[in-house]
Each structure stands twice: as structure tokens, then as C-alpha cells.
Structure 1
């Protein structure tokens, strides 16, 4: 792959940059088709595999999300040190194969294993894409570009519901007792959306790798001499139980801190299990928390400048928490909307997929695009201006979620879902661009992976599961969804704190990196 010259920060983005963005948008569409299709298939999977709502929340959110977050960090570091285009192509191939293999599942355990594989593969996408986009687009267009890319989230989610609903309904009508290879409708749907990703992976390999930092007028960083050795070393910091080896390599003090963190997490998990909580959910979440703790401790020892600009920056962390809790309710709503419409309102898979998926795709695309453009304009006169959009996304969706998940007829449900998604989705591009602006170009992949911890460990791994858990205990999916709104004050408080802290964090970026040992 060749590298191309890019315009300076005060120039327009090139036509090729917009072409790259369009291809990356398609990747993210497929990313969310493969991730989200389980929503429209949930009722059939629940029946055929004998599962509960809490199990569905675990399969959709936790099994996928924890490993997405866990591997996102070392893969983010690999994106910082190696060819981002190649990494994305490899990851796309992996998650496409694992999505297809989901169609061969015969038990909940089999499906959970496949979802873990999808999570690991998809962990390559956004760290690579965010970094590529940030090196193709100048700062003044970055939120717009990232918002367009991120709109693939809702377009893909919408397409997955329509495609999945259509396939499962027609397949089951044609073969009520199972079709070719004994597959039922939901299994065929997984295969139908998984295999095309292999073709898109070949297309990705034709993209050119941008020069890091050139769009901001910064000198190109030196190439890492051994990116895969660094990646293997990164795995020692985050994949249990290898984390104990990694900690021991840092000395006795580092090992003791790591063991203390592990003991605290184990104690928390055992406490939850002792009061009747399902152990797979909290063992997985505990694994994710311990892994991230181990990684953060190791990052502080091994790369002090990156630690200082990410983990050591309160503005960065507040932005992650604010959007993480936005995702907490947004992911739950996007997963449970289709089952709610089918279960409570009598919708069929195809009609529900068309309406929930179509409205979700439209709302998400509009929300992200408008939110990105507005946040870029707000930034022109205020370094923290983008965070007004994050604050908006923390407050405004709440009444629409209440309207949707208390509805007893279709019209208020679909109105509520549409406006909840359009007002929540506007915050993603603004939050992502804010975190990218707080770090140096070589740190963008790691910053992206850290940002997505908020949307996985906080949002994806907890939101859908807790809604399903409350639904299982109460017998009401409406109660399960509404219970999640108790986090709204935390979301707002974190967004306001980020707004107050962000200008100083960005203004002192280079100075703090230099003080931590960065050679700039």
C-alpha cells in the first residue's frame, strides 16, 4: 500500500478522502448489520434455544461487548503502530466468518462463543477507521466526517432488522420444520449477512494508507520497528490470566497492585452471584473491568505520554463516561425495540423489521450527521462547543423513551423510538471528535479504543442485559427499559464536567505530553 500526500489543516479534504470515508461507512454498516441482527431474531432464538430475556441481553450485549472492549485496546495500539487498512481487512474477514458460524449454533453457549468471535473481529474496525479519518480530514471537518462514518451504526442496524425479519419470516414460511442443512430462519439469516463481508474485506485492501499527522502539519512519527511484538506485549497487559505475567514483568509493586485489583473484582462478582445474579454475566463484566484495570496500569509504566493524555486526563474520561451512559440506554432501546413491538404490539418480523429498522436508520443518520455539523460549528467559537451536543443527547431522549416503552399501540411507540434515536445519536460524532482532539496523532487508535470502552463496558455490556434482567424478574419489558433511566443524572453530570474541563485539556495537550516524555 502506498501513502499519499494530504492537504494541510486549512485546506479542504480531497475527493479521495471522501471516497475513503464512503468505503469506511459501508464497513460500519456491515459491522452493525452483523452486530444488530440478533435483535429481530431474538424471539425465535429465545423459543428455539429455551432462553430468557436476560440471556438475550447477555448474548447481544455482554458476550459481544466485553471482548470487543478487551481486544479493542491492544488492537487500537496495533492500529497506531501498523497498517490500519490491512488490520481492518483482517478484522472484517474474522467477524464475517463468525457471524456466519452463528447460524450453526444449537445452544446458547454455541451462540455466545460465536458472538465473542464477532466482538474480537469488530474491535479492529473503529480504532483503524477513526485514525484513518482523522488523518484524511482537517480538524474543522473531523466531527462531520466521524459523524458520517458513525451513521453506519444506525443504517446498518436498520438494514439488519429489515433483512433479518424478511429472511426469518419467509424462510420459516417455506420450511416450517427446517430447510437445507436443517437450518431454521434465524440461522439462515446469520449466514446471509455474514458471508458478504468477505467481499468487502477485499475492497478494503485497495485503500491507501494516509500519512499520520500530515493533515495537521505535524511531522510524521517514526515507523514502529516491531508492531506485532508490541501487540503481543499489549496482550500480556489485558488478556487474563496473561495479565499476571505482564504485571510481574513490571516488578513486585506492579504485581501486588494487579493482584489487589483482581481480588477486588473477584469479591464484587462473588457478592453479586451470592445474591442470585447470573454468574456468566458478572464473570464476563468482571473480566472486562479487571482487564482494563491491568491495561491502564501497564500503560502508565510503558507509555507515560499516552497514559497522561488519555487515562490521566479528566476531560477525556468524563467524555467517555457521558457518552457511555448515553449508549447504556441507546443500545438497550435499539435491541429491545423490535422484541417489544412484536411481543407487546403484535408486529410480525418483516413489518417490525421494516418499521423499527427503517425509522432507526433514518433517525440515526440524521441525528449523527446534523449533530456532527452542528458540533463543528459550535467549536469554531468555543473549544468545548461540541460538548453542548453531548449535553443535549444526555437529556432530550428521555421523554421519548418513556413514550415508546409505555405505548400500547404502534403509533406512539414508533414516534417515541424515532425521536429518542435522533436526539441520542447526535452526540456520538461530537464526543468522538472531542476525544480525538485531546491526543496526539500517534495515540488516536488507542484513544478510539478507550472511547469505545464507554460504549461497551458501560453501554453495551450493561444496558441491554440489565433491561432484560429486570424484564425477567418483573415480567415486563416496559419496566426493564424504564428502569435504565435512573442513570440520566449521571450522564448529564459527566457531560457538564467534560464541557468545563475540555478547553484546558486540549490547550495543554503538547505540553503535558512533552512533560510525560514525548519527543515533540
Structure 2
């Protein structure tokens, strides 16, 4: 109990001890993995849930995508503002308990509208997750190690997504004949109930995460007022405009494909969802982990060597991997090669996941980071995450009018989005470099200047504003 009370007290030092920072990142990874498990689970349950509620792909996409992402995105700015001002571990505890409750309630829904409400509740609970975790890690880890620390943390995103496919498929297979033990409950309902159970345990772990002083604040107010935030974004509109547009394009790529992957392999290659889940989950964890480590290493390497636009450069590596894979995986007739292309897609996507937090932090001061994270998530959520699954489903249902044409619908959405992502990254490069150098000084690229100023008191830092 004393540990729980101590967790409410800030640590009065520039950065916490490295070993404790590692422990905190591990706890945040566990929480994030559970969030990803709850978030990604419906992609494995398309067929049984369509049958249970007699709905189309488009209607399912509203449950699996829009109902979650709309509230996730709209509540993001609210939680982002709270993250910049309030006790971040306690905000995370509330979020974990909230989304776990709504995931559990999904098991007892009896109508389509009820599952929409439950998924909206999951989105509200998870809206605090990314801004709070990124903000905490930035204050726990010194800049020289931060890119790798964030990359290691983001492994939880891929691991959670992969685990949702592996465990979900395994549970469906294992529980397919065990409905009698649960009062006749359908297997997909048992899966939702099961994955909600670890939530309270994760909330208890968060009691051991302490609030820490906010670093890199300079001599100005700890929290930027809305007018200062607006002025900073306006002064750097080209930088943030193209960066956020690129994130929207990434959202369209990922969400036009990933929610439909088990269904794609079932409809195009005759693979049962639980079998596809095992392979896809393994690829997501394996290729995703490699990509995250590569993305974090590239980000830190280019920053430490003084390369201009260092934190943005990994996005070009990701595009070079993703775009060919987007063409190959839906069209190639070989199951093995299609899986291989999906692995490359996971690799490229995870490079962007690793590099994105440092990319935003390279052009923003601490006191605005929570709001910049949520602004990016707002745009990605309202456009990329909401439209991606539904665009694929709509083209399948109303353009091709054939469930078997899912592969072509995926290509129609993902390929233009991939080209848009590459274009936005290219157009962002020059203004990104200019913003970064005005923030940290032309002689010290990205966050390298902070290595000699661990307390964040440099007037160069104080002179700037937003990042992720």
C-alpha cells in the first residue's frame, strides 16, 4: 500500500534511475499489449459476428472501426490536455479499467447497437493510452536513449496485435465445443469475456508507476496555453500539416488491410481464421519487432550523426518497404508469398511506429507534446482509422458486390494511401528541418542539444513548441 501511495509523489530529479525507467516501460508495455488485444480482437471474429447479428461487411466495419475510432479520436484532445497537466499514471488506471469493462460487456450484447456502444466505450478508455505513455517515457528516459526506448515500448503495439490474432484464434478453436461450460454462450462471446479479465491486474501494476517532473520545459510555464499552442502550430503549419497528413495516410493503409486480414486469407486462400491468426500473429510479432528495432536505431543513428531531418528519414525507408508489399500481397496467388508480403508490410509499418514519437518530439517542446500526440491521433482516427475499414468494406459490398473480391477492395484503398504517405513525407522534409533547427539550433540536429542540458533549461528549448 505504501508503494501505491509513493506512486502519487513526483520524483525530484532530472531523470529517474535507468533501472526504474526500464521497469516503468515494461509496465507500460504490458498495459499497451492489453489495449491492443482488446482493440484488434474483432478482426478475427468477422464471420461469427456477422452471422450472429446478420450484418454486412460494411456494418461490421462500423463496429470494428468507426464506433471505436470516432470516440478514440474525439476524446483524444481532452485526454491530451489532461496528460499535459494531471497525474498520468492515475489517468492510465482509469482508462484500463474503463476499456476492460466495456470489452467484457461486449460478451453480453444482444443487438448490433449494443456492440457499437461497447466498442465506443473501449475507444474512450484507450484514448488516454498513447498520449500518457509517450509523455511518461519522454520524462523517464534521457534524449540520447529515447528513440530506442520508444521503439522498445512500441514493440508492445505489435506484440499486442499479434497476440490478439494468436490467442483469439486459439481461444476460438479451444472453446468451440465448450459452450455448455459457459451456459451455452457462443465462442466469440467467451473470447471477449476472457480478454477483459487481465485489465484489473494491469491497473494494479500501474500503481507502481510514479509521476515524474516534466523535462525540457525551459523557463516558461509548464503548460502552454491554447493561444500559444495555436500560434506555434500556425507558425509551423507546413511541418505539422504534412506530418499529420502522412499519419492519416498511414492510418488508411493499416486500417484498410489489418482488420480484414483473417477474412482475406479465408476468402482468397481458404485458410480458417484460427490458422490464419496463428501465422499472421507470429509475423506481426516477429517482423514487427525487427522493424521497431530498425526504426528506433535508424532514428537515433541519424540524429547522433547530425543528419538533417534525422527523425523523419525512417519514413522513407518504411515507404520503400511498404509500397511494393501493398501490390504483391493481395494479388499474388501463392499463399506462402502472400504471407511473406504481409511480413514485409508489418516490417515497414513498425518502422513508422518506432520513428513517429521521436519525429514529433524533434519539432515540439515538452509542454505541448500531449496535445500534439492527440491532434495527430484525432486526424488519423477521424479519417484513417474510421474510413479505412469502412472504405474496404464499402467497395467489397457495393462496387464489386462479392465477398470474394475483398482482395481488390483492399488494393483500391491501400495503394493510393501508400503513395500519399510517400508524397507527404517528401513534402514535409524541408519544413521539418527548418522547424527542428529553429527549436534546437542549426548546429545541433533534433534532440541532440538536450544531451548537454538534461534538465531541459536551455533557452533554445524554451523558445519552441509541439511534438509527439
Please indicate the TM-score interval, normalised by the length of the shorter structure: 0.7 to 0.9
Q: Paired residue for 1:212, among 207, 211, 214?
A: 214
Matched residue, 1:139: 143
Aligned 1:53-452 pairs, distance under 5 A: 53-175=57-179, 180-213=182-215, 216=216, 218=218, 221=221, 303-310=226-233, 312-313=235-236, 314-380=238-304, 381-452=306-377
CA distance in 2, matches of 1:13, 1:452: 31
CA distance in 2, matches of 1:31, 1:203: 14
Preserved contact between residue 6 and residue 136 of structure 1 (Cα < 8 Å): no
How far 1:312 sits from its partner (Å)? 4.8
Q: Relative to 1, partners in 2 of residues 1:65 and 1:127: Cα closer, same or farther, differing over 3 Å?
A: same
Matched residue, 2:446: none
Preserved contact between residue 154 and residue 353 of structure 2 (Cα < 8 Å): yes
Unpaired runs of 5+ in structure 2? Answer: 1-7, 440-458
CA distance in 2, matches of 1:109, 1:513: 48
How far 1:221 sits from its partner (Å)? 5.0
How far 1:497 sits from its partner (Å)? 1.8
Q: Relative to 1, partners in 2 of residues 1:140 and 1:324: Cα closer, same or farther, differing over 3 Å?
A: farther
CA distance in 2, matches of 1:424, 1:59: 24
CA distance in 1, matches of 2:100, 2:217: 37
Q: Relative to 1, partners in 2 of residues 1:406 and 1:13: Cα closer, same or farther, differing over 3 Å?
A: farther
Q: Paired residue for 1:488, among 418, 427, 438?
A: 418
Q: Relative to 1, partners in 2 of residues 1:128 and 1:512: Cα closer, same or farther, differing over 3 Å?
A: closer
Aligned residues: 433
How far 1:219 sits from its partner (Å)? 5.4
Q: Calculate the TM-score normalised by the size of structure 2.
A: 0.87
Superposed CA deviations along residues 431-454 of structure 1, whole A, max 9, x for unmatched, are 221112322212111111112224
Q: Paired residue for 1:500, among 414, 424, 430?
A: 430
Whether 2:1 is the aligned partner of 1:2: answer: no
CA distance in 2, matches of 1:398, 1:515: 35
Aligned 1:11-50 pairs, distance under 5 A: 14-50=18-54
**Equivalent residue of 1:387, what SS?**
coil
How far 1:411 sits from its partner (Å)? 0.7
Q: Relative to 1, partners in 2 of residues 1:13 and 1:450: Cα closer, same or farther, differing over 3 Å?
A: farther
Preserved contact between residue 309 and residue 438 of structure 1 (Cα < 8 Å): no
CA distance in 1, matches of 2:104, 2:47: 19
For the aligned residue pairs, the C-alpha RMSD in angstroms reads: 2.3
Q: Paired residue for 2:406, among 452, 477, 493?
A: 477
More displaced, 91-100 or 459-468? 459-468
CA distance in 2, matches of 1:311, 1:48: 49
